[in-house]
Amino acid sequence: MVPQMTEFWEPEVKTVSTPENVAPSDAIVLFEGKNLDQWVSTKDNSKSAQWTVNKDGTFTVKKGTGNIQTKQSFLDYQIHIEWKVPANISGQSQARGNSGLFLASTGPDNDGYEMQILDSYNNRTYANGQAGSIYKQSPPLRNATRKPGEWNVYDVIFTAPRFKDDGSLFSPARVTAIHNGIVVQNNTILTGPTQYIGLPSYDKPHGKSPIKLQDHGDPSEAISFRNIWLREL
């Protein structure tokens, strides 16, 4: 053999521009700092998201209005999202800056696959419910949460589950997640949609699904988000 026999020139790898602090050129921008046009109410998909868009290019949970979700549905993707617990946060354990990034919303309310968002800076709770966990399934490998008032960054790769024609599971969902530059989920296998009570299972087959953000309902001060973009894989 000669070296050229194992050199493949086609198809050529597509180029993506990645300017600093800007979404990649092939990304779907879900929040650019001006409006929530890419989001709707989970309670009623015909209604716009009711959370508060701020003048500084962020948006804040409007408590009591319910969860919001993307207008579009996705299968496998990479998502970037930044979130901040307010500096004046109060409460403890799960009642302290609680929200959630549902990587696939499979129904109303809190149905789906949740990656926990929570103030886990000097705030102990159950390990599989702290920031960076796959809720009630997989604790994060490390607690990388920044103190209240500082921005946290999630970069997550989600592989959706696949189902056979008869509705049984073919392959489970998988998650790799980086929190503030630290790997907290490494190709984690999900055993089903997350459950607050009981054990998860894949009993409801689904395909592409919206992405959902949670209005948790605890009495602590509301958290904020910014710079949300997604790349389909």
The letter for the amino acid at 195 is Q
Residue 20's pLDDT band, with cuts at 50, 70 and 90, is confident
Are the C-beta atoms of 191 and 201 separated by less than 8 Å? yes
Would you place residue 90 in the very low, low, confident or very high pLDDT band (cuts 50, 70, 90)?
A: very high
The pTM of the full predicted model, rounded to 2 decimals, is: 0.95
For the segment 198-216, the average pLDDT, to the nearest whole number, is 97
| Residue 19: per-residue pLDDT | 85
pLDDT over 70, % of the chain: 100
The separation between CA 21 and the C-alpha centre of its own chain, rounded to angstroms, equals 19
Paired strand residues for 95: none
- Residue 2: band (very low, low, confident or very high) from pLDDT cuts 50, 70, 90: very high
Residue range 160-173, pLDDT digits in tens: 999 999 999 999 99
User: What percentage of the chain reaches a pLDDT higher than 90?
Assistant: 97
Q: What is the largest CA-CA distance in the chain?
A: 69
Amino acid in the structure at residue 165? D
